[in-house]
Structure 1
Amino acid sequence: MPPAALPDFSARQLEAVLALVEYGSFVAAAARLRISQPALTRAVKRLETELGVRLFDRTTRRVQVTAAGREFAAVAERMLADLGITVQSVREVAQERRGLVVLSSVMSVAGAFLPRLIAAYRADRPGVEIHVRESVHGSVMEDVRSGVADFGLGYVDELPDFAVGTPLGRETFCVVTSARHKFANRRKLGLSDLADQPIVALPTDSRTRRTIDAAAAMAGVPLRQMVVVTQIATLLGLVAADVGVGIVPRGAVPAGRNLRAVPLEPRLVRRIGVIALREREPTPAAAGFLALLRREWPLQN
């Protein structure tokens, strides 16, 4: 059985009903709504015609609400209240005062640069909730493809057809050692210097690991990647404990923590930036975060 057609009426007509119920007079209700009495009369008549019921009994002295009118007035009050809440919510979302941003980021960016950017964003928009998904580049791409994330932060070279990349800067690799390591005070290191060193590495499915392995193969240097971890924070902790040295993006090495970042020569560089699903428009909250990201990104192109 097809559903009954919904009546076509406006918020102004609902306000007219409530005003008439409250004042019991077309003159008083029209004054309350700041419209003319004939305009109010026409609005109520159109609504009654649309509903197919009489909401008010008119006499020369006053207006009397019918039983149907009382029931409809209760519904109208709830509808206007809900509409007011919805309009306010939509405006808050559009003005970035409320909402949700889900971003997926490679670990070197998530730990190094995002905390400051998120703090700056939330200082102006405390009502916006932010979810950060940290993983390897392949997982970032899957989060973007599936729509789980509003956008990703990863490597923008050689993206698949479903994605579009906006470069933000370049990420340079370094050798990270403990402050006690024999390489800690070196001004630069080459891959050949690391040939006999135990290396703490990321898994083979990470873009960082694949970049390092490709560079080592090109240089003909066999690296001893003796300990494999899935998180850069764990890698840095093991390096600080002198388990081995690591090769990581420079931005991933925090100040202090008993670590030293030594430049890698020849330089190993990747472009990093925003990855988005092609033809997907960002939400207002995500667009605001992206604008801040492009303005405040600390790396130089």
Structure 2
Amino acid sequence: MTNNISIRHLRAFVEIASCGSFTRAAENLHLTQSTLTATIKQLEDQACLKLLDRTTRRVLLTGEGETFLPVAEKLISDFDTAFNDLHATATQQQGQIGVAASPSMISRVLPPIIKAYHLDSPKIGIYLRDDNASGIEQRVLENEVDFGLGGNHSNQPELSYTPVLKDRYGVVVPSGHHLAEKAIIRWDEISSLPQLHLTEDTGTRSQLRKLEKENDLDLQLQGAGIEVSTPAGLAELIKTGLGISLLPSLAASTRSFDELHFIPLDEPALFREICIISRKGRSLSPAAESLLQMINEHFSATNLPQFVRTED
């Protein structure tokens, strides 16, 4: 049997039970008595039970009505709570946003944006997940976060990549290195120098491999002698004088590299794209959309060294 009962039937029943009168209940619900009577008849016909008894002075609940009343009250309460939660989410009065990004993006770029957003929408929770390029994609794919900020690591067909920044590549050298005072360096000037690299599973390594092939460069990526999985570990190795390393400027701008020198590479000047990564077909909540807009506005006015907007 098809159930055609709606929340209005429940509200009518509960209001009559509370008032003990069709007349007062109709007034409170802003209905005519005939409409209210028809609504209760529909409810009783659907239930195949009489829920209310009318006397000359008062409307009383039947035994079945007494049993059903707390159930109806809970259903109304649950409905109102759920709908109010939806409204609060729509008006950004509550909710939670998840963002996945590289450690350098989280430490270098996002803090002022998150602070500004939190001051504007203090009831919205925000959780940040730092990860490498493949991890960012996976977190977005699994709906663990609303969106990610990173490079297009594997061009997943289920993901959308919207470029927002281009981050220039350069070389990182220790203090005292003979290249340390240069303002810019050609790629061919570093081809014979010992190099340290991030491991194969990182976005930077895969991007360098692609750049090497596309631009006919010798970046010593094949069988690299010393590799490390994190930029912080890489920075410590560079400080020892073991070698130099190739990184995008954002990765080289974190605290781990404070004692080192980043020099942009030229001839050719090469960049990595930083993208907003989202899942195709998945709508963002109003809160997530608002944060994303704030991030885009920040990027459009960025003055980070070696960064350019993708439109430029």
In the alignment, what sits opposite 1:248? 247
TM value normalised by structure 1: 0.83
- Separation in 1 of the partners of 2:157 and 2:204? 22
Name the CA shift for 1:18/1:221 in 2 (closer, same or farther; >3 Å): closer
Residue 136 of structure 1 aligns to which amino acid in structure 2?
Answer: N
- Separation in 2 of the partners of 1:214 and 1:73? 68
SS of corresponding position for 2:185: coil
Q: 2:281 aligns with which of 279, 282, 296?
A: 279
Report deviation, 1:6: 6.2
Report deviation, 1:263: 1.5
In the alignment, what sits opposite 2:134? 138
In the alignment, what sits opposite 1:262? 263
In the alignment, what sits opposite 1:20? 16
RMSD: 3.0
Q: 1:200 aligns with which of 193, 196, 201?
A: 196
- Separation in 1 of the partners of 2:206 and 2:25? 74
- Separation in 2 of the partners of 1:241 and 1:126? 44
In the alignment, what sits opposite 1:219? 217
- Separation in 1 of the partners of 2:23 and 2:88? 37
Residue 115 of structure 1 aligns to which amino acid in structure 2?
Answer: P
TM value normalised by structure 2: 0.80
Q: 1:300 aligns with which of 276, 289, 309?
A: 309
Unaligned runs of 5+ in 2: 303-307
Name the CA shift for 1:14/1:279 in 2 (closer, same or farther; >3 Å): closer
Q: Greater shift after overlay, 110-119 or 165-174?
A: 110-119
- Separation in 1 of the partners of 2:141 and 2:250? 26
Q: Greater shift after overlay, 217-226 or 127-136?
A: 217-226
- Separation in 2 of the partners of 1:21 and 1:158? 62
Instruction: State percent identity of aligned pairs.
Output: 27
Residue 46 of structure 1 aligns to which amino acid in structure 2?
Answer: Q
Alignment of 1:160-175 (within 5 A): 160-175=156-171
SS of corresponding position for 2:195: strand
In the alignment, what sits opposite 2:58? 62
In the alignment, what sits opposite 2:305? none
Tell whether the 8 Å contact from 1:104 to 1:140 is kept in structure 2 after alignment. yes
SS of corresponding position for 1:115: helix
Q: Greater shift after overlay, 23-32 or 129-138?
A: 129-138
Tell whether the 8 Å contact from 1:30 to 1:37 is kept in structure 2 after alignment. yes
Tell whether the 8 Å contact from 1:188 to 1:262 is kept in structure 2 after alignment. yes
Tell whether the 8 Å contact from 2:94 to 2:123 is kept in structure 1 after alignment. yes
Q: 1:93 aligns with which of 85, 89, 94?
A: 89
In the alignment, what sits opposite 2:6? 10
- Separation in 2 of the partners of 1:40 and 1:221? 80
Residue 109 of structure 1 aligns to which amino acid in structure 2?
Answer: M
Unaligned runs of 5+ in 1: none
Report deviation, 1:188: 1.6
- Separation in 2 of the partners of 1:119 and 1:51? 54
- Separation in 1 of the partners of 2:230 and 2:105? 12
Tell whether the 8 Å contact from 1:164 to 1:276 is kept in structure 2 after alignment. yes
